Amino acid sequence: MEGKIFKSGFIGIIGKPNVGKSTLLNNIIGEKLAITTHKPQTTRNRITGIKNTEAGQFIFLDTPGIHKAKTPLNRSMVKEAVNTFADVEMLLLITEAHRAFTADDDFIFRTIEGIDIPVILVINKIDLIEKEQLLPLIERLRHIYPFSEIVPLSALKGFNIDTLMDTLWGLLSEGPKYFPDDMITDSSERFLAAETIREKIMVLTHQEIPYSTAVIIDSFKEDERRGIIKMQATISVEKKSQKGIIIGRKGAMLKQIGTRARLDMERFFGTRIFLELFVKVSRDWTRDSQMLEEFGYTKI
């Protein structure tokens, strides 16, 4: 198809914690690449999602929520998000229709001040407001920042995603095919498996437990002859009491985490999974910069 223009580009997805960034990425790609829960700060690492079309390639970089971080772990997460600005051609700034830009969002505007790339405002969760509220909301947000475009949508329900993709296509430049057509992420299988386990911990546990856990895949062995992946993973917590909660009475909680993670991984990897989980105490790891690096988080 000589002479046909091919477009490509890297697009950062940013915003406060829990505004629907990962839900949007998953909906666009059509696969669950990024874990999602109702709890803020679920995403800790940058995740790449690749959307291939005949005429172009959209490479999305989903990022942790930008917020005023206090702990070393949270500062690492914010740094991961801000570092993304230098790697993309445009940014999608996600806000919520029913909580659009409160005083807390000033911090986000300070982080994007002076950047020389298009910023598209995505107003997510428009299903949570009345239709007659939308146009006045858009008009108000136009005056907050010189956004290149404003796109209202519902990431969860998939409403108006096509409009967003058309908007991005108009802003994409001609470029090469960075990844093969059948590739939807450059994240490793180990990373995706660890994130799946961590998601189940986030969903099944409460209070400080979800934020005090890290997951490392110790062993990942694919047995093609038997059609099975054998996996061993260690869940690290900060305190001995947290270890007891993760394991649960007679191992019930750990078994539930493992079962739910295994079922999700079998759907994603398309093969049987044998998963062994272990729990250990890595005291105060969220405050230890060396351990943060060992667990794969951005150096601060």
Q: Which pLDDT score, from 0 to 100, does residue 107 have?
A: 86
pLDDT confidence tier of residue 1, bands split at 50, 70 and 90: very low
Residues 6+ apart with CB under 8 A from 114: none
Q: How many structural domains are present in the chain?
A: 2
Q: Which pLDDT score, from 0 to 100, does residue 128 have?
A: 94
Domain CATH number, residue 271: 3.30.300.20
Rounded CA-CA distance 240/255 in Å is 19
Same domain flag for 94 and 224? no
Same domain flag for 110 and 23? yes
Question: Of 91, 37, 97, whose CA–CA distance to 66 is shortest?
Answer: 91
Domain CATH number, residue 93: 3.40.50.300
Q: Is the pLDDT of residue 34 over 70?
A: yes
**Residue 184, in any domain of the structure:** no
pLDDT confidence tier of residue 101, bands split at 50, 70 and 90: confident
Which of the listed residues 148, 174, 200 is the one where a domain comes to its end? 174
Same domain flag for 133 and 215? no
Q: Is the pLDDT of residue 27 over 60?
A: yes
Rounded CA-CA distance 98/137 in Å is 10
Question: Of 75, 69, 66, 55, whose CA–CA distance to 12 is shortest?
Answer: 66
* Mean pLDDT, range 231-256, rounded to an integer: 97
- Structural domain boundaries enclosing 225: 189-294
Q: Is the pLDDT of residue 104 over 90?
A: no
**Residue 114, in any domain of the structure:** yes
Q: How many CB atoms lie within 10 A of CB 145?
A: 15
Q: Is the pLDDT of residue 288 over 50?
A: yes
Say if residues 78 and 192 touch (Cβ distance below 8 Å).
Answer: no
Q: Give, for 8, the enclosing helix (H) or strand (E).
A: strand 7-15
Q: Is the pLDDT of residue 121 over 60?
A: yes
pLDDT tens digits for range 83-100: 999 999 999 999 999 988
Say if residues 175 and 7 touch (Cβ distance below 8 Å).
Answer: yes
**Residue 300, in any domain of the structure:** no
Same domain flag for 170 and 194? no
Q: Which pLDDT score, from 0 to 100, does residue 103 have?
A: 66
Same domain flag for 147 and 237? no
Same domain flag for 82 and 108? yes
Same domain flag for 39 and 67? yes
Please state, in angstroms and as integers, the Cα–Cα distance from residue 200 to each residue in 18, 42, 298, following that order.
17, 11, 23
**Residue 121, in any domain of the structure:** yes
What's the mean pLDDT when you consider all of the chain? Answer: 94
Same domain flag for 154 and 13? yes
pLDDT tens digits for range 144-163: 899 999 999 999 999 999 99
